[in-house]
Amino acid sequence: MAEVPEEQVRTPTKAGKTVQQGIDATGEGRAARRDEAVRAAVRQGLLGHGVVGLLDVTGIRESAAELRAAFEAVSAPGAPVLHAFAVKATPLVPVLRLLHEAGIGAEVASPGELALARAAGVPPDRIVLDSPAKTPQELREALLLGIAVNADNPQELARIDAAVRAAPSPAPLGLRVNPQIGGGTIEATSTATETSKFGVALRDEGAREWVVRAYLDRPWLTRLHAHTGSQGIPLSLMARGAAETYGLAEEINARAGRRQVDTLDIGGGLPVNFYSDATTPTYAQYARLLREEVPGLFDGRYGLVTEFGRSLLAKHGTTLARVEYAKSAGGRRVAVTHAGVQVAARTVYVPGAWPLRIAAYDAEGRPKTGPEVVQDIAGPACFSGDLLAQARALPLLEQGDHAAALDTGAYCFASHYAYNSLFRPGIYGFAPDGAGGVAFVTVREPQTVEEIVSESGGAHVTALTTLGASPRR
């Protein structure tokens, strides 16, 4: 399939709405584009094994533009800001490339994520490496390439000391701290709790002084990093995390008698609204709150790095699945679809924390109407908890219809879970085709059964039965 030319992406949609950047806060334009894409995906036979991931290219560009505009509006003119997309949210090379061309860099946390960012053409000076378990090999590679690294702990800093002694690095280097200001509504994504595994726990006895000394002893340590958490962290707590980071940088610089810390990395974590099409909170709201609470962040003395993931991509992804069977059990209607734990692991295992909206479409991919019926939307995996939604009131889904899990562009279909050896679905990007229709491009091919066999040890069929039976190979 051909690339979608830039000018076509800006063509009005069939619904007659030209969505300009920043004015689609209700998500109306996005919802209209989604309905058209679902219809076209069904018509063009994109569902393959019964499930597909769809990415709204127009929407991703809008969010990238909103993020940049929000921080530009509150920053001193010319102040450097790097928005580094948290690759774990949507680890897909074409997405990283789209964001790169929209002015967004990459935050990586594993050798695989770094390789994805580099494959997308993101230059080293637009990449930030954070992760709690970097190996010496990873650190050496990053320092050699000039990729910014935030050390997580004293032992990692000692490894960087050795590497810097061996060969000075062009990479900007920093330290991650945990301000220990508390968690949000989801424990698993709260990173600034008392006992979080991330960063140097700033309020532990002696820790703050240790951090200040660590900087005074290392003139090349010029960045400071904190990420307060993801989804479920209130904006006020995120702002407090940034304020703590800023306060510590001011203290270090005062003690150093110079502006040693020149860049603050305030992490990501803007929560996403999973209950309607509206984008709330917005980047603009967060940037304004930050400016009110921590004005010194924006007066031009510090460069800024942000690391948003979910808020850039979640609302631009739709998981579309065919209803293979519709049945009834104990009076409950159940639609058995091809989307379950493999594409929405968090929702299936912790449904209370990670609810997803479901939209009902008919066999042709048109929005389904009719009286709402309480039903379960089940996935294909062999355990009874494999449900995308339980007791949800929707127009009755029947065999051959389609169910769409909305807002799944981050941490869902791009983070496949291999339970039951279910296929990784194909992922397609869509945009208006310029002629009143929808154009698709392949972002990731659907997985084949041959690939499943090969990734499951297919090349080593007799490895275990021959072990010990003959001399070791």
Ligand X SMILES: *Cc1c(COP(=O)(O)O)cnc(C)c1O
Instruction: For CA atoms 149, 150, 152, 153, give the dihedral sign.
Output: positive
Asked if 107 interacts with ligand X (CB under 6 A), we say yes
- Least CB distance to ligand X at residue 110 (A): 11
> Which region among 95-103, 157-165, 212-220, 266-274 touches ligand X (by CB under 6 A)?
266-274
Compare residues 152 and 376 and give the one whose CB is closer to ligand X. Answer: 152
Cβ–Cβ under 8 Å, residues 257 and 270 = no
- In this structure, the dihedral spanned by the alpha carbons of residues 130, 131, 133 and 138, taken in order and rounded to 10 degrees, is -40
Burial (CB < 10 A; 0-12, 13-18, 19+), residue 326, is middle
Compare residues 36 and 152 and give the one whose CB is closer to ligand X. Answer: 152
Asked if 268 interacts with ligand X (CB under 6 A), we say yes
- Least CB distance to ligand X at residue 312 (A): 8
> Which region among 261-269, 284-292, 326-334, 434-442 touches ligand X (by CB under 6 A)?
261-269
* Contact string (CB under 6 A) for ligand X, positions 183-212, x = contact: ------------------------------
Asked if 241 interacts with ligand X (CB under 6 A), we say no
Asked if 117 interacts with ligand X (CB under 6 A), we say no
- Least CB distance to ligand X at residue 218 (A): 21
Query: What is the distance between the alpha carbons of residues 203 and 177, in angstroms, rounded to a whole number?
Result: 10
Compare residues 233 and 387 and give the one whose CB is closer to ligand X. Answer: 233
Asked if 88 interacts with ligand X (CB under 6 A), we say yes
Compare residues 174 and 380 and give the one whose CB is closer to ligand X. Answer: 174
Site for ligand X in 122-141 (CB under 6 A): 130
Element (H, E) at 372: strand 372-378
- Least CB distance to ligand X at residue 67 (A): 11
* Contact string (CB under 6 A) for ligand X, positions 211-240, x = contact: ----------------x--xx---------
The residue within the footprint of ligand X, chosen from 46, 89, 177, 378 (CB under 6 A), is 89
Pick from 51, 114, 6, 24: which is nearest to 403 by CA? 51
Compare residues 126 and 227 and give the one whose CB is closer to ligand X. Answer: 227
What distance lies between CA 407 and its chain's CA centroid? Answer: 12
Site for ligand X in 348-407 (CB under 6 A): none
Strand partners, 151: 175
Asked if 269 interacts with ligand X (CB under 6 A), we say yes
Query: What is the distance between the alpha carbons of residues 164 and 395, in angstroms, rounded to a whole number?
Result: 62
Pick from 53, 62, 126, 124: which is nearest to 90 by CA? 53
Asked if 83 interacts with ligand X (CB under 6 A), we say no
- In this structure, the dihedral spanned by the alpha carbons of residues 236, 240, 241 and 247, taken in order and rounded to 10 degrees, is 160
Asked if 310 interacts with ligand X (CB under 6 A), we say yes
- Angle at 286 (CA atoms; ends 280, 289), nearest 5 degrees: 130
Query: What is the distance between the alpha carbons of residues 407 and 412, in angstroms, rounded to a whole number?
Result: 9
Cβ–Cβ under 8 Å, residues 83 and 104 = yes
Query: What is the distance between the alpha carbons of residues 393 and 370, in angstroms, rounded to a whole number?
Result: 11
> Which region among 5-13, 39-47, 84-92, 291-299 touches ligand X (by CB under 6 A)?
84-92
Q: Which residues contact 230 (CB under 8 A, 6 or more apart)?
A: 186, 189, 191, 268, 269, 271, 309, 310
Compare residues 113 and 401 and give the one whose CB is closer to ligand X. Answer: 113
> Which region among 268-276, 355-363, 401-409, 439-447 touches ligand X (by CB under 6 A)?
268-276
Asked if 86 interacts with ligand X (CB under 6 A), we say yes
> Which region among 60-68, 267-275, 371-379, 448-456 touches ligand X (by CB under 6 A)?
267-275
Q: How many residues bind ligand X (CB under 6 A)?
A: 17
> Which region among 66-74, 85-93, 417-425, 445-453 touches ligand X (by CB under 6 A)?
85-93
- Least CB distance to ligand X at residue 356 (A): 16
Compare residues 152 and 401 and give the one whose CB is closer to ligand X. Answer: 152
Q: How many Cα atoms sit within 13 Å of 185 on the Cβ side? A: 9
> Which region among 116-124, 139-147, 263-271, 423-431 touches ligand X (by CB under 6 A)?
263-271
Q: Which residue is nearest to ligand X (CB)?
A: 309
Element (H, E) at 30: helix 28-43
Cβ–Cβ under 8 Å, residues 344 and 319 = yes
Pick from 423, 427, 470, 432: which is nearest to 450 by CA? 423
For 101, the 3-state DSSP assignment is helix
Residues that bind ligand X (CB under 6 A): 86, 88-89, 107, 130, 227, 230-231, 267-270, 307-311
